[in-house]
Amino acid sequence: MWDDLTWVQWAAAAVAALLVGFAKTGLPGAGIVIVPLMALAFPARESVGRLLILLILGDVFAVSFYCRHARFRTLLKLLPGVLAGIVLGAFSLDALDDRGFRLLLGALVLVLLAIDIQRRLSGMNPGRHPAAAPLVGAAAGWATAVGNAAGSIMAIYFVMMGFPKKKFLGTAALFFAVVNWIKLPVFAGIGIVDKGIVWSGLSLLPAVAAGALLGRAVLYRIPQKMFETVVLILAAAAALMLLV
Protein backbone atom coordinates (compact mmCIF):
# COMPACT_ATOMS: atom_id res chain seq x y z
CA MET A 1 0.00 0.00 0.00
CA TRP A 2 1.13 3.62 0.57
CA ASP A 3 3.85 2.56 3.02
CA ASP A 4 5.84 1.29 0.06
CA LEU A 5 5.49 4.49 -1.99
CA THR A 6 7.60 7.63 -2.11
CA TRP A 7 6.00 11.03 -1.48
CA VAL A 8 6.39 11.78 -5.21
CA GLN A 9 4.36 8.69 -6.10
CA TRP A 10 1.76 9.57 -3.48
CA ALA A 11 1.45 13.13 -4.83
CA ALA A 12 1.20 11.92 -8.44
CA ALA A 13 -1.56 9.48 -7.53
CA ALA A 14 -3.47 12.16 -5.58
CA VAL A 15 -3.33 14.60 -8.51
CA ALA A 16 -4.39 11.80 -10.86
CA ALA A 17 -7.35 11.00 -8.59
CA LEU A 18 -8.50 14.63 -8.61
CA LEU A 19 -8.23 14.82 -12.40
CA VAL A 20 -10.05 11.51 -12.85
CA GLY A 21 -13.03 12.83 -10.89
CA PHE A 22 -13.06 16.11 -12.85
CA ALA A 23 -12.79 14.43 -16.26
CA LYS A 24 -15.51 11.90 -15.45
CA THR A 25 -18.14 14.48 -14.50
CA GLY A 26 -17.03 17.71 -16.17
CA LEU A 27 -14.76 17.86 -19.20
CA PRO A 28 -13.81 14.51 -20.77
CA GLY A 29 -10.21 14.75 -21.85
CA ALA A 30 -9.33 17.23 -19.11
CA GLY A 31 -7.22 14.49 -17.60
CA ILE A 32 -4.93 14.07 -20.61
CA VAL A 33 -1.93 14.20 -18.28
CA ILE A 34 -3.22 11.38 -16.06
CA VAL A 35 -1.80 8.45 -18.03
CA PRO A 36 1.68 9.97 -18.57
CA LEU A 37 1.72 11.23 -14.96
CA MET A 38 1.04 7.76 -13.57
CA ALA A 39 3.44 6.18 -16.06
CA LEU A 40 6.22 8.50 -14.89
CA ALA A 41 5.55 7.83 -11.20
CA PHE A 42 5.10 4.04 -11.36
CA PRO A 43 6.36 1.08 -13.40
CA ALA A 44 4.24 0.53 -16.53
CA ARG A 45 2.14 -2.43 -15.40
CA GLU A 46 1.68 -1.03 -11.89
CA SER A 47 0.54 2.36 -13.21
CA VAL A 48 -2.15 0.67 -15.33
CA GLY A 49 -3.49 -1.23 -12.31
CA ARG A 50 -3.45 1.75 -9.96
CA LEU A 51 -5.16 3.98 -12.49
CA LEU A 52 -7.88 1.40 -13.12
CA ILE A 53 -8.97 1.60 -9.46
CA LEU A 54 -9.13 5.40 -9.63
CA LEU A 55 -11.18 5.21 -12.83
CA ILE A 56 -13.66 2.81 -11.22
CA LEU A 57 -14.08 5.24 -8.32
CA GLY A 58 -14.66 8.06 -10.79
CA ASP A 59 -17.27 5.94 -12.59
CA VAL A 60 -19.29 5.74 -9.37
CA PHE A 61 -19.75 9.52 -9.31
CA ALA A 62 -20.31 9.86 -13.06
CA VAL A 63 -22.98 7.15 -13.11
CA SER A 64 -24.75 8.56 -10.06
CA PHE A 65 -24.80 12.07 -11.59
CA TYR A 66 -25.69 11.29 -15.22
CA CYS A 67 -26.96 7.72 -15.59
CA ARG A 68 -30.52 8.80 -16.39
CA HIS A 69 -29.25 10.64 -19.48
CA ALA A 70 -27.43 7.62 -20.98
CA ARG A 71 -28.26 6.27 -24.44
CA PHE A 72 -28.48 2.53 -23.84
CA ARG A 73 -28.91 1.60 -27.51
CA THR A 74 -25.49 3.05 -28.31
CA LEU A 75 -23.90 1.09 -25.45
CA LEU A 76 -25.32 -2.19 -26.74
CA LYS A 77 -23.87 -1.51 -30.19
CA LEU A 78 -20.44 -0.77 -28.75
CA LEU A 79 -20.18 -3.68 -26.31
CA PRO A 80 -19.25 -6.60 -28.66
CA GLY A 81 -16.33 -4.67 -30.13
CA VAL A 82 -15.21 -3.56 -26.68
CA LEU A 83 -15.05 -7.14 -25.39
CA ALA A 84 -12.94 -8.22 -28.35
CA GLY A 85 -10.66 -5.21 -27.94
CA ILE A 86 -10.11 -5.81 -24.22
CA VAL A 87 -9.09 -9.42 -24.81
CA LEU A 88 -6.72 -8.38 -27.59
CA GLY A 89 -5.27 -5.59 -25.47
CA ALA A 90 -4.76 -7.74 -22.37
CA PHE A 91 -2.72 -10.26 -24.33
CA SER A 92 -0.73 -7.61 -26.20
CA LEU A 93 0.46 -5.80 -23.05
CA ASP A 94 3.83 -7.52 -23.14
CA ALA A 95 4.06 -7.67 -26.94
CA LEU A 96 3.85 -3.91 -27.56
CA ASP A 97 6.37 -1.48 -26.12
CA ASP A 98 5.35 1.91 -24.77
CA ARG A 99 6.50 3.83 -27.85
CA GLY A 100 4.58 1.55 -30.20
CA PHE A 101 1.42 1.93 -28.14
CA ARG A 102 1.71 5.72 -28.07
CA LEU A 103 2.20 5.95 -31.84
CA LEU A 104 -0.71 3.65 -32.62
CA LEU A 105 -3.11 5.37 -30.25
CA GLY A 106 -2.05 8.88 -31.28
CA ALA A 107 -2.50 8.03 -34.97
CA LEU A 108 -5.91 6.49 -34.27
CA VAL A 109 -7.13 9.60 -32.44
CA LEU A 110 -5.94 11.84 -35.29
CA VAL A 111 -7.76 9.66 -37.83
CA LEU A 112 -10.98 9.99 -35.83
CA LEU A 113 -10.51 13.76 -35.61
CA ALA A 114 -10.03 13.90 -39.39
CA ILE A 115 -13.24 11.90 -39.85
CA ASP A 116 -15.07 14.36 -37.62
CA ILE A 117 -13.76 17.31 -39.65
CA GLN A 118 -14.92 15.56 -42.83
CA ARG A 119 -18.33 15.05 -41.23
CA ARG A 120 -18.67 18.75 -40.51
CA LEU A 121 -17.60 19.76 -44.02
CA SER A 122 -19.68 17.22 -45.95
CA GLY A 123 -22.75 16.93 -43.74
CA MET A 124 -22.43 13.12 -43.88
CA ASN A 125 -21.90 11.29 -40.59
CA PRO A 126 -19.83 8.08 -40.81
CA GLY A 127 -20.32 7.69 -37.06
CA ARG A 128 -23.84 6.49 -37.75
CA HIS A 129 -22.73 3.75 -40.17
CA PRO A 130 -23.62 0.25 -38.80
CA ALA A 131 -19.93 -0.73 -38.75
CA ALA A 132 -18.83 2.35 -36.81
CA ALA A 133 -19.91 1.26 -33.32
CA PRO A 134 -18.21 -2.19 -33.40
CA LEU A 135 -15.00 -0.71 -34.83
CA VAL A 136 -14.88 2.18 -32.36
CA GLY A 137 -15.72 -0.23 -29.55
CA ALA A 138 -12.86 -2.55 -30.52
CA ALA A 139 -10.41 0.36 -30.70
CA ALA A 140 -11.55 1.67 -27.32
CA GLY A 141 -11.39 -1.79 -25.76
CA TRP A 142 -7.84 -2.28 -26.97
CA ALA A 143 -6.73 1.19 -25.86
CA THR A 144 -8.27 0.88 -22.41
CA ALA A 145 -6.76 -2.56 -21.82
CA VAL A 146 -3.27 -1.54 -22.89
CA GLY A 147 -3.13 1.86 -21.21
CA ASN A 148 -6.46 3.03 -19.75
CA ALA A 149 -6.49 5.42 -22.71
CA ALA A 150 -9.84 5.06 -24.48
CA GLY A 151 -11.16 8.45 -23.38
CA SER A 152 -10.19 10.42 -26.49
CA ILE A 153 -11.56 7.74 -28.82
CA MET A 154 -14.95 7.69 -27.14
CA ALA A 155 -15.07 11.47 -26.74
CA ILE A 156 -14.71 12.01 -30.48
CA TYR A 157 -17.28 9.31 -31.23
CA PHE A 158 -19.87 10.80 -28.88
CA VAL A 159 -19.32 14.27 -30.39
CA MET A 160 -19.82 12.76 -33.85
CA MET A 161 -23.09 11.25 -32.63
CA GLY A 162 -24.28 14.73 -31.69
CA PHE A 163 -25.00 13.93 -28.04
CA PRO A 164 -25.96 16.84 -25.73
CA LYS A 165 -23.42 17.20 -22.94
CA LYS A 166 -25.44 15.35 -20.28
CA LYS A 167 -26.28 12.52 -22.67
CA PHE A 168 -22.60 12.46 -23.67
CA LEU A 169 -21.44 12.11 -20.06
CA GLY A 170 -24.25 9.71 -19.09
CA THR A 171 -23.48 7.36 -21.97
CA ALA A 172 -19.74 7.66 -21.34
CA ALA A 173 -20.25 7.01 -17.62
CA LEU A 174 -22.09 3.74 -18.17
CA PHE A 175 -19.76 2.73 -21.00
CA PHE A 176 -16.61 3.10 -18.93
CA ALA A 177 -18.20 1.66 -15.79
CA VAL A 178 -18.99 -1.54 -17.69
CA VAL A 179 -15.60 -1.60 -19.43
CA ASN A 180 -13.61 -1.02 -16.24
CA TRP A 181 -15.47 -3.70 -14.29
CA ILE A 182 -14.84 -6.13 -17.16
CA LYS A 183 -11.15 -5.24 -17.03
CA LEU A 184 -10.85 -5.69 -13.25
CA PRO A 185 -10.97 -9.53 -13.11
CA VAL A 186 -8.86 -9.74 -16.28
CA PHE A 187 -6.17 -7.52 -14.77
CA ALA A 188 -6.36 -9.34 -11.43
CA GLY A 189 -5.91 -12.64 -13.24
CA ILE A 190 -2.71 -11.52 -14.94
CA GLY A 191 -1.30 -9.86 -11.81
CA ILE A 192 -1.74 -6.18 -12.69
CA VAL A 193 -4.22 -5.54 -9.85
CA ASP A 194 -3.89 -6.97 -6.33
CA LYS A 195 -5.36 -6.23 -2.90
CA GLY A 196 -2.69 -3.69 -2.04
CA ILE A 197 -3.38 -1.67 -5.18
CA VAL A 198 -7.13 -1.79 -4.53
CA TRP A 199 -6.82 -0.55 -0.94
CA SER A 200 -4.35 2.20 -1.81
CA GLY A 201 -6.71 3.33 -4.56
CA LEU A 202 -9.66 3.42 -2.19
CA SER A 203 -7.70 5.69 0.14
CA LEU A 204 -7.80 8.33 -2.61
CA LEU A 205 -11.61 8.41 -2.73
CA PRO A 206 -11.77 11.94 -1.20
CA ALA A 207 -9.60 13.32 -4.02
CA VAL A 208 -11.76 11.63 -6.67
CA ALA A 209 -14.91 12.99 -4.98
CA ALA A 210 -13.53 16.54 -4.91
CA GLY A 211 -12.70 16.38 -8.60
CA ALA A 212 -16.13 14.94 -9.43
CA LEU A 213 -17.99 17.71 -7.61
CA LEU A 214 -15.87 20.37 -9.29
CA GLY A 215 -16.46 18.75 -12.68
CA ARG A 216 -20.23 18.75 -12.26
CA ALA A 217 -20.18 22.43 -11.29
CA VAL A 218 -18.20 23.29 -14.44
CA LEU A 219 -20.46 21.22 -16.72
CA TYR A 220 -23.58 23.10 -15.65
CA ARG A 221 -21.93 26.41 -16.59
CA ILE A 222 -20.37 25.58 -19.96
CA PRO A 223 -22.44 25.95 -23.18
CA GLN A 224 -22.90 22.90 -25.44
CA LYS A 225 -20.86 24.30 -28.34
CA MET A 226 -17.97 25.23 -26.08
CA PHE A 227 -18.18 21.80 -24.44
CA GLU A 228 -17.77 20.06 -27.83
CA THR A 229 -14.96 22.38 -28.89
CA VAL A 230 -13.01 21.86 -25.67
CA VAL A 231 -13.49 18.07 -25.89
CA LEU A 232 -12.09 17.98 -29.44
CA ILE A 233 -9.19 20.31 -28.62
CA LEU A 234 -8.23 18.15 -25.65
CA ALA A 235 -8.45 15.00 -27.80
CA ALA A 236 -6.13 16.59 -30.38
CA ALA A 237 -3.73 17.65 -27.61
CA ALA A 238 -3.73 14.12 -26.23
CA ALA A 239 -2.92 12.71 -29.68
CA LEU A 240 -0.02 15.12 -30.15
CA MET A 241 1.32 14.28 -26.69
CA LEU A 242 1.30 10.62 -27.66
CA LEU A 243 3.10 11.19 -30.95
CA VAL A 244 5.95 13.45 -29.78
Contacts of 26 (CB under 8 A, 6+ apart): 214, 215, 216, 217, 218, 219
Q: pLDDT, tens digit, for every residue of 16-70? A: 999 999 999 999 988 888 888 888 888 878 888 999 999 999 999 999 999 999 9
CA of residue 12 relative to chain centroid, distance: 18
Of 241, 45, 214, whose CA–CA distance to 151 is shortest?
A: 241
Overall pTM surpassing 0.95 (yes/no): no
Output DSSP code: residue 4. G
Contacts of 33 (CB under 8 A, 6+ apart): 19
* Domain spans of the chain, in order of start: 2-243
Q: What burial letters (b/e) apply to 112-135, b meaning 16+ CB within 10 Å?
A: bbebbeebeeeeebebeeeebbbe
- CA dist 233 and 173 (Å) reads 21
Of 136, 184, 182, whose CA–CA distance to 158 is shortest?
A: 136
- From first to last of its 244 residues, the chain has per-residue pLDDT tens of 555 788 889 999 999 999 999 999 999 988 888 888 888 888 878 888 999 999 999 999 999 999 999 999 999 999 999 999 988 887 777 777 778 777 888 888 888 898 888 888 887 777 788 889 999 999 998 888 887 778 889 999 999 999 999 999 999 999 999 988 988 998 899 888 999 999 999 999 999 999 999 999 999 999 999 999 999 999 899 888 888 8
Q: Please tell me the chain's helix, strand, coil percentages from 3-state DSSP, rounded to the nearest 5.
A: 80, 0, 20
